Structure 1
Amino acid sequence: MNAAVFSPSALSLPISFSKTRSSFLSRKKGVKGEFRVFAVFGDESGLVEKKSQWRPLFDVEDPRSKAPPYKGKFLDVNQAIEVARFDIQYLDWRARQDLLTIMILHDKVVDVLNPLAREYKSIGTVKKELAGLQEELSKAHQQVHISEARVSTALDKLAHMEELVNDRLLPGRVVTELDKPSSSTTASAVELDREKTNTGAKSLNVSGPVPPYSPHLKNFWYPVAFTADLKHDTMVPIECFEQPWVIFRGEDGKPGCVRNTCAHRACPLDLGTVNEGRIQCPYHGWEYSTDGECKKMPSTKLLKVKIKSLPCLEQEGMIWIWPGDEPPAPILPSLQPPSGFLIHAELVMDLPVEHGLLLDNLLDLAHAPFTHTSTFAKGWSVPSLVKFLTPTSGLQGYWDPYPIDMEFKPPCIVLSTIGISKPGKLEGKSTQQCATHLHQLHVCLPSSKNKTRLLYRMSLDFAPILKNLPFMEHLWRHFAEQVLNEDLRLVLGQQERMLNGANIWNLPVAYDKLGVRYRLWRNAVDRGDDKLPFSG
C-alpha cells in the first residue's frame, strides 16, 4: 500500500487528486487500490520529512473563526484598526494556501514525469496530463498575484488609518446629549440637531437658500457649448450666472457671445436668425455683430447702440466664455481626451439643480453600488472601505478599490478615466492595469441658483467602429439619461432639504475627500482669497 499522510489544511484545498497508474497496476496484481495523497506537512515520517522545510510556511491557523464582530456597525478608530489587521491576517493566510496549491501541483508534475510511471503511459497520455497540469499551474500563479495585490491593498488601508485620525477633512467631534452639560439637558430636539450640525470646527456648512454668486467665481473660463453644435447659421442660447446669453459665429467664422436681449424692446435674440455673421432680432430686425454692436436698424435711422458681449474663444472642440469683470486668463485649460481615445458622444442637458450640488455628486463614487443599481453599478459588491487617494495638495487622484482616476478642474469640470474591469470588485487592478478604458468629461455650468447646464463628453480607447454606427449617439444619450436620473431624484431631494435649512455636508467621512476639497476651494474663491487651496 502506498503510504498517505495528510493534514486537514491539505485536504481542504479545492484540488482533485486522480488515481495514479501505479495504483491501477496494484489492483491488477490483487493489491487493493487507493488514492495517493501527498502531504506537505504532518507528524509522521517518510514523505513528510522530505517536505519538512515548508512546514513553518504553511502551518498557520485559519483566522476566519476569529473575525471581529463588527459587521454592519459604525467603528471607532481602534475597532477599524482591528478590522484592518484581521484583513491582513486573513489575506496572508489565503496567500499561503494559494502557494500551497502551486507546490502540490508541482508535485503532481514530478509524479507524472516519474520514469516508473512513464513506463505504463503513452507519450500522448503524458503530454495530455502535463498540459492539464500546466493550465492549473497558470491559474494558481495568477491567483497568487491577485492575493499579493490584496495583501498590498490591505497594508495600504492599515497605513491609511493613521492618516484618517488626523485628516483635517474629517469632521470634528459631534456633541451628543450625553456630552452636554446638565444646564442644557432641556434643549429641544431642534436645538440639539443644530448643535450637532455646527459643532466640529472642520465640518462644512452648506445649508439654506443659495446665496448670490460671488463675482470672484465668474473670473474663470467656462466651457458652454460643443463646437459641433454651433454651425455658421445657428445660435446656442445659454444662461450663465442668471444672465441670458446667445452664442453665434461672426463673418470670420469665430464664435461670439452677446446678451440675449435686444436693446430695443428686450426681445430674446435667439428667436431670430443669423445673417452674414450677425444675429437679427425677430421683432424689428435689428442686427448685432459678435462684439454686441448694432449694425442694422431697418425702417429708422441707425443709432450707436451696443449690447453687452463676453470674451469668447474656441479650443479643442469646445466654445468658452469669460463672464467675469477681470481681464481673461491668457491660457485655456485643455480638456482633450488622453492620447489613444476617440470621442464617441457629446451631450448637453439642462438640469433643475444648483451646479455645486451636481459637482458634489460627480465627485463622489462611494454612492455607486447603492444608487446606480440599474445601470453601470448593477451587481457591484459593497467594499469594506472606499477611499480617494490624492496628493496632500491636489484636486486629482484615484479611487480605491475602483479602477477609476478622477480630477476636479476649476471652476466646474470633472474628468474621469474608468478601467473596464469589473470596477465594483476588488481585483488588485488600477486604471493602468486595465486593457480598455472609458474617459468622461462633465462640465457643470452655473445657469442659475437652481439650474445647471451639463456638458457631457464620452471617449473610448477601444471599439472605434462604434463611432460610425448611426444609432449609437441615441444609445449613449439614453444610457447617460438613465444614469443621471438615478442621481437626480436624490440630488433634488438634497436641494429641497438644503433650501429648508439642512446642512448637506453635515458629517463628511474619508471617502468624501475630493468633494470636501472642492467645497473648501469654492469657499476660498467666494471669499476672494489671493491664494486658493489645492492649487499647488
Structure 2
Amino acid sequence: MNWLKNVWYVAGFTHELDQAPFVARTFLGQPVVMFRTSDGQVSALRDLCPHRLMPLSKGRRVGDELQCGYHGMRFNAQGACTDIPGQTQIPAKACAQTHPLRVRHGLLWIWMGDAALASDDLIPDVHWNDDPMWTSSIGYHRLACDFRLVNDNLLDLSHESYVHLRTIGNDEEESIANYPLKVTIEGERLVRAHRDMPNIDPPPFFAMVLKHNGPIHRWQTAINMLPGINMTDVGVYPVEKTKDEAHMMHVMHLLTPETETSTHYFWTVARNFDLDDEALTGKIQAAISATFDEDQVVLEIQQKQLEAYGSAVPNVAIRLDEAAVRARRLLEQQVQREQQVPQTVLAPLPLL
C-alpha cells in the first residue's frame, strides 16, 4: 500500500517509555523500537540489527543503549554502533536507521518519511489532552484492518444506532441518520461532518456522564485530518439548560497504519466537566473502550470480507457515505502528490 509518509503519526503515549526499557511497534510496515534515555531524550530506531537483522527489541537495554540479543552489538540513541564484541573497528554501515520522534501533549509522534522534512511545526495541535482545563481518559486498540476502514467508520456515525445501541447510540427512531448532515472540506487534508440533534433521549453513556435521564440537546462533529487524525467533538446538555452549560468531550481517534491490514488505534477522551472526579474518568475509559470493542468486531469482519469477496462484489455507496468518500479522495490525491513531489509536506489544520 502507498501511505503518506511525510506527516507525523502517533507512535504511542509518553508514559509507555517510562514503564518499559523500550517499546517495539511496526509503523507503515517498518519495525521500530523506541526508548527514552536517562537525560530524557526519546529515540526511535529501526528495529533491525544491521548484522543479521535480528530485532533489537529481542535483545536488552544496557544503560542508554540497545544491545542485540544475537551477537551483542550495541547501538546508542542516534543509531550509531558503539561496540562489536571481538573487534575494535566499527564499519561505517554498522548503524541502525533512526526516525524523528517527538513528545507533545502526552503523545509520541513519529515521522516515517524524509527526516529532513520533519518540522516540529507540523505536529497536529491536540493540546486538550494535557490542558489543565480538561481531563482525559486514554486507551489503545490494535485493529486487524486497513486504517482507512476506521476512518470510514469514524466519519459516518450513523452506525451508532446498530453497533453501539448499548453505549453511545440512540434507537432507530432517534438515529442520528435522521438528522441533517453538513459536510465541509477545509484545505488539503480536513473533512468535517456535523449534526445537531435537538430534544432526544440520552443514550446510556450520555445519561451516565450527565447524571440525567431526561431529554437532551446534542451536537456531534466528526473530523478527519488525513491521514489518520480523527476527532469526534461532542456536546450534550439537558433541554432545560443552555448550550453554554453543555458537557463537552473531544474524543481523539489517532490512527497509525501498522501494516496494510492492521492499525494502531490510540484514543483519548478529553472532557470539560467534573475534572477532579477520578471515578468518572475510570467509568468513561471503560465505557469508551467497550464502545471501541464493538467497532473492532465490525471492522475486523469487514476486513476479512473484503479480502475474501472485495474484488467480486461491487461497493454500493449511500448518502451517509459522503464524508468518508470525500476523505478517501483527499487521501488518494495527497498520496499521489507526495509520490510525484517527494518533498511535499502537509501543514496541520485547526481541528476546532
TM-score, normalized by the shorter chain, greater than 0.5? yes
Alignment of 1:520 with 2:305, yes or no, is: no
1:322 corresponds in structure 2 to 111
2:206 corresponds in structure 1 to none
Output one character per residue of 1:224-266: Cα deviation in whole Å (capped at 9) or x when no partner. Answer: 1111111286211110111110111235321111111222332
SS of the residue aligned with 2:158? coil
1:346 corresponds in structure 2 to 138
| Structure 2 CA distance for aligned equivalents of residues 291 and 429 of structure 1 | 56
Alignment of 1:370 with 2:166, yes or no, is: no
1:487 corresponds in structure 2 to 295
Deviation at 1:421, TM superposition (A): 3.6
Report if aligned partners of 2:161, 2:175 keep a CA contact under 8 Å in 1.
yes
Output one character per residue of 1:368-421: Cα deviation in whole Å (capped at 9) or x when no partner. Answer: 111111222255722573343244545225223351123212221101221134
1:65 corresponds in structure 2 to none
Report if aligned partners of 1:390, 1:396 keep a CA contact under 8 Å in 2.
yes
Overall identity of the aligned pairs, in %: 23
After superposition, the Cα gap between the structure-2 partners of 1:341 and 1:292, relative to the gap in structure 1 and judged at 3 Å, is same
2:225 to 409, 415, 428: 409
> How many residues of Structure 1 are paired with residues of Structure 2 in the alignment?
314
Report if aligned partners of 2:158, 2:177 keep a CA contact under 8 Å in 1.
no
Using CA pairs under 8 Å that are at least 6 residues apart, name the structure with larger relative contact order, 1 or 2: 2
> Which of 373-382 and 456-465 deviates more?
373-382
1:395 corresponds in structure 2 to 191
List aligned pairs for 1:346-495, cutoff 5 A.
346-377=138-169, 379=171, 381-383=174-176, 385-391=178-184, 393=186, 394-401=190-197, 402-421=218-237, 432-433=243-244, 435-467=246-278, 469=279, 473=282, 475-495=283-303
Deviation at 1:357, TM superposition (A): 0.7
List aligned pairs for 1:113-192, cutoff 5 A.
none
2:66 corresponds in structure 1 to 279
Deviation at 1:520, TM superposition (A): 0.8
Report if aligned partners of 1:388, 1:513 keep a CA contact under 8 Å in 2.
no
Deviation at 1:329, TM superposition (A): 4.1
1:337 corresponds in structure 2 to 128
Alignment of 1:236 with 2:23, yes or no, is: yes
1:248 to 25, 29, 35: 35
Report if aligned partners of 2:191, 2:225 keep a CA contact under 8 Å in 1.
yes
Deviation at 1:505, TM superposition (A): 8.6
After superposition, the Cα gap between the structure-2 partners of 1:407 and 1:472, relative to the gap in structure 1 and judged at 3 Å, is closer
After superposition, the Cα gap between the structure-2 partners of 1:464 and 1:383, relative to the gap in structure 1 and judged at 3 Å, is closer
| Structure 2 CA distance for aligned equivalents of residues 273 and 434 of structure 1 | 52
Would you tell me which structure has more strand in proportion to its own residues? Answer: 2
SS of the residue aligned with 2:116? coil
RMSD over aligned Cα atoms? 3.1
List aligned pairs for 1:269-308, cutoff 5 A.
269-304=56-91, 305-308=94-97
| Structure 1 CA distance for aligned equivalents of residues 286 and 252 of structure 2 | 17
After superposition, the Cα gap between the structure-2 partners of 1:428 and 1:364, relative to the gap in structure 1 and judged at 3 Å, is farther
| Structure 2 CA distance for aligned equivalents of residues 285 and 392 of structure 1 | 52
Deviation at 1:277, TM superposition (A): 1.9
Output one character per residue of 1:479-524: Cα deviation in whole Å (capped at 9) or x when no partner. Answer: 2332122222222232223223437993333332321221011111
Report if aligned partners of 2:36, 2:42 keep a CA contact under 8 Å in 1.
yes
After superposition, the Cα gap between the structure-2 partners of 1:233 and 1:385, relative to the gap in structure 1 and judged at 3 Å, is closer
SS of the residue aligned with 1:464? coil
SS of the residue aligned with 1:366? helix
Would you tell me which structure has more helix in proportion to its own residues? Answer: 1
SS of the residue aligned with 1:516? helix
| Structure 2 CA distance for aligned equivalents of residues 259 and 289 of structure 1 | 12
Unaligned regions of 5+ residues in structure 2, if any? 198-217
Unaligned regions of 5+ residues in structure 1, if any? 1-211
